[in-house]
């Protein structure tokens, strides 16, 4: 706090104490002088020590919270926290590093069948004279043939019988979720999610300003009783959830629990945003019906091809509650105008000619092979999950520090993720790491990476900092 007083002592005419303090604290967080998790002094103490009004300090802390740089915990105080985007950049590689085995990014396993399908389709397109999709600039919701292909895909994969007027073509599932959240939630609205959720939802809470609270989960996903308890106690705007192959835990919510979630949402008039980006990796026998089956008037259903067919095929489908369809389409219009028609055309062709299903079946075999390797070394550490998931959730002992473990692995050229980027709040930090199986490497290199992690598991108690044991 001494440096805060020094900054105020150098204030120039026309400068405001509020701005000087905010800028000073931000600089100390960004330079590492104030570290993630560090407790800030109580507001009253800061006001007294700096001889400044308590309201000014309150406004400073509020602004830092708004920017996602600190968090408040009732009864405990205010703590430094990295922005959601900072957590993601640290834990998940945002660019390829040639020497690093990247187990931090949940993506498909690259293979020759994908490459061939892409090349064949590009060759076919290059020889066609009539290509209306490359000149399209008007149909915001998507070209009608693309929307019809989408309804066929959804009917086949989920059993949902969707009208095209309730469906938008989006640039991937992430945009679909963002559109749904933008249609529902604003500053101070309460949105619920799994206590471990996709980091994009956490980021959107900072962009849109809504309050995000994590629900208790078990090996099957959200615990319905906790969902109902919060709905009964507070005004809840929406629930965001991933019932199929949750990221990061890999949980699959059973059908009876999905029905419970839908019934609770209907009882309290809570909207549901159902992220089903991984669902097509499950067989028809393994895959329960979507929550949207029982709550179609309250559910935004989101899916795409990025996590099931081809990583770069960033086309998604968003099914909207009928009464919010016009609102959501308007938001799409002002944020991105429309999804990429050329990618939507490719996705539609692959739906209609069976290529999408063929690539998914091939991907399932590759996933099973790598998942078997993970289980070979880490069976006793695995927490729930599924052999069809693109990642594994590996428990570590309670006295180990996940961030120290991930840092040590990076020294050994293996990138994995801790629970930090997926934690709806700091109480959700879990003693586990996420290992993604889609690393762009050979199976032999993949197994060598697993051996590196396995060896470190055996050595870690001896090499971790003494003060964290």
134 and 198 belong to one structural domain: yes
Residue 94 sits in the same domain as residue 240: no
Instruction: Single out the residue in 326, 353, 380 at which a domain terminates.
Output: 353
What pLDDT does residue 429 have? 67
Whether residue 251 sits in one domain with residue 146: yes
Please check whether residues 336 and 405 belong to one and the same domain.
Answer: no
CATH code of the domain in which 5 resides = 1.10.10.10
Residue 135 within a domain: yes
Domain boundary at 331, 353, 375, which? 353
Same domain, 219 and 164: yes
Q: Is residue 323 part of a domain?
A: yes
Q: Identify the CATH number of the domain in which residue 372 sits.
A: 3.90.1150.10
CATH code of the domain covering residue 211? 3.40.640.10
Is residue 320 in some structural domain?
yes
**Residue 398 within any structural domain of the chain:** yes
Residues 218 and 364 in one domain: no
Is 39 found in the same domain as 6? Answer: yes
Q: Is residue 121 part of a domain?
A: no
**What's residue 463's pLDDT?**
47
Residue that finishes a domain, picked among 310, 333, 353: 353
pLDDT per residue rounded down to tens, the chain (469 residues)? 788 888 888 888 777 888 888 888 888 887 778 887 788 999 999 888 888 889 888 888 888 887 778 877 777 788 887 655 555 555 555 555 556 899 999 999 999 999 999 999 999 999 998 888 888 777 789 999 999 999 999 999 999 999 999 999 999 999 999 999 999 999 889 999 999 998 889 888 888 889 999 999 999 999 999 999 999 999 999 999 999 999 989 999 999 999 999 999 999 999 999 999 999 999 888 899 999 999 999 999 999 999 999 999 999 999 999 999 999 999 999 999 999 999 999 999 999 999 999 999 999 999 999 999 999 999 988 887 788 999 999 998 877 888 888 888 998 999 999 888 888 876 656 889 999 999 999 999 999 999 999 998 887 655 444 333 2
Domain boundaries, position 267: 129-353
Kindly state whether residue 124 falls inside one of the protein's structural domains.
no
Residues 360 and 331 in one domain: no
> What local confidence, expressed as pLDDT, does residue 325 receive?
94
**280 and 146 share a domain?**
yes
Helix (H), strand (E), coil (C) string for the chain:
CHHHHHHHHCCCCCCCHHHHHHHHHHHHHHCCCCCCCCECCCHHHHHHHHCCCHHHHHHHHHHHHHCCCEEEECCCEEEECCCHHHHHHHHCCCCCCCCCEECCCCCCCCCHHHHHHHHHHHHHHHCCCCCHHHCCCCCCCCCHHHHHHHHHHHHHHHCCCCCHHHEEEECHHHHHHHHHHHHHCCCCCEEEEECECCHHHHHHHHHHCCEEEEECEECCEECHHHHHHHHHHCCCCEEEECCCCCCCCCCCCCHHHHHHHHHHHHHHCCEEEEECCCHHHCCCCCCCCCHHHCCCCCEEEEEECCCCCCCCCCCEEEECCHHHHHHHHHHHHHHCCCCCHHHHHHHHHHHHHCHHHHHHHHHHHHHHHHHHHHHHHHCCCECCCCCCCCEEEEECCCCCCHHHHHHHHHHCCEECECCHHHECCHHHCCCEEEEECCCCCCHHHHHHHHHHHHHHHHHHHHHCCHHHC
Give residue 134's pLDDT: 84
- Answer yes or no: is 424 within a domain: yes
Asked if residue 184 belongs to a domain, the reply is: yes
Domain count, the chain: 3
Same domain, residue pair 319 and 368:
no
Both 94 and 158 in one domain: the answer is no
- Considering the domain architecture, whether residues 223 and 175 belong to the same structural domain is answered as yes
């Amino acid at each position: 706090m001494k440096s805060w007083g020094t900054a105020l002592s150098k204030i120039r005419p026309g400068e405001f104490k509020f701005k000087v303090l905010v800028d000073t604290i931000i600089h100390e967080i960004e330079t590492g002088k104030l570290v993630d998790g560090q407790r800030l002094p109580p507001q009253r103490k800061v006001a007294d020590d700096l001889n400044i009004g308590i309201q000014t300090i309150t406004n400073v802390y509020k602004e830092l919270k708004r920017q996602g740089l600190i968090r408040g915990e009732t009864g405990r105080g205010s703590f430094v926290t990295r922005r959601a985007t900072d957590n993601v950049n640290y834990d998940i590689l945002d660019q390829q590093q040639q020497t690093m085995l990247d187990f931090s990014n949940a993506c498909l396993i690259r293979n020759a069948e994908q490459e061939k399908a892409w090349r064949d389709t590009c060759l076919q397109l290059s020889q066609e004279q009539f290509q209306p999709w490359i000149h399209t600039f008007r149909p915001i919701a998507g070209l009608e043939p693309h929307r019809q292909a989408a309804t066929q895909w959804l009917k086949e994969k989920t059993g949902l019988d969707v009208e095209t007027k309730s469906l938008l073509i989006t640039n991937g599932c992430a945009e679909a979720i963002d559109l749904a959240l933008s249609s529902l939630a604003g500053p101070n609205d309460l949105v619920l999610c799994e206590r471990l959720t996709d980091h994009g939802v956490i980021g959107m809470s900072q962009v849109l300003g809504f309050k995000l609270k994590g629900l208790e989960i078990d090996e099957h996903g959200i615990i319905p009783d906790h969902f109902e308890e919060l709905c009964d106690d507070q005004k809840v705007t929406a629930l965001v959830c991933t019932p199929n192959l949750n990221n990061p835990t890999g949980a699959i919510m059973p059908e009876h629990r999905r029905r419970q979630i839908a019934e609770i949402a209907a009882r309290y008039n809570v909207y549901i945003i159902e992220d089903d980006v991984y669902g097509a990796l499950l067989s028809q026998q393994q895959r329960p019906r979507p929550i949207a089956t029982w709550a179609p008037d309250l559910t935004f259903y989101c899916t795409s091809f990025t996590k099931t067919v081809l990583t770069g095929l960033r086309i998604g489908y968003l099914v909207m509650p009928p009464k919010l369809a016009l609102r959501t389409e308007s938001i799409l219009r002002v944020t991105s105008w429309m999804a990429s028609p050329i990618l939507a055309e490719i996705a539609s062709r692959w739906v209609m000619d069976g290529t999408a299903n063929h690539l998914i079946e091939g991907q399932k075999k590759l996933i099973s092979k790598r998942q078997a390797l993970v289980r070979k070394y880490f069976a006793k550490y695995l927490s729930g999950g599924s052999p069809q998931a693109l990642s594994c959730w590996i428990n570590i002992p309670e006295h180990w520090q996940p961030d120290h473990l991930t840092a040590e692995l990076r020294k050994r050229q293996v990138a994995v993720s801790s629970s930090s980027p997926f934690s709806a709040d700091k109480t959700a930090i879990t003693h586990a790491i996420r290992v993604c199986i889609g690393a762009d490497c050979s199976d032999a290199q993949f197994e060598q990476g697993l051996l590196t992690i396995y060896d470190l598991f055996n050595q870690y108690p001896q090499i971790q900092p003494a003060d964290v044991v």
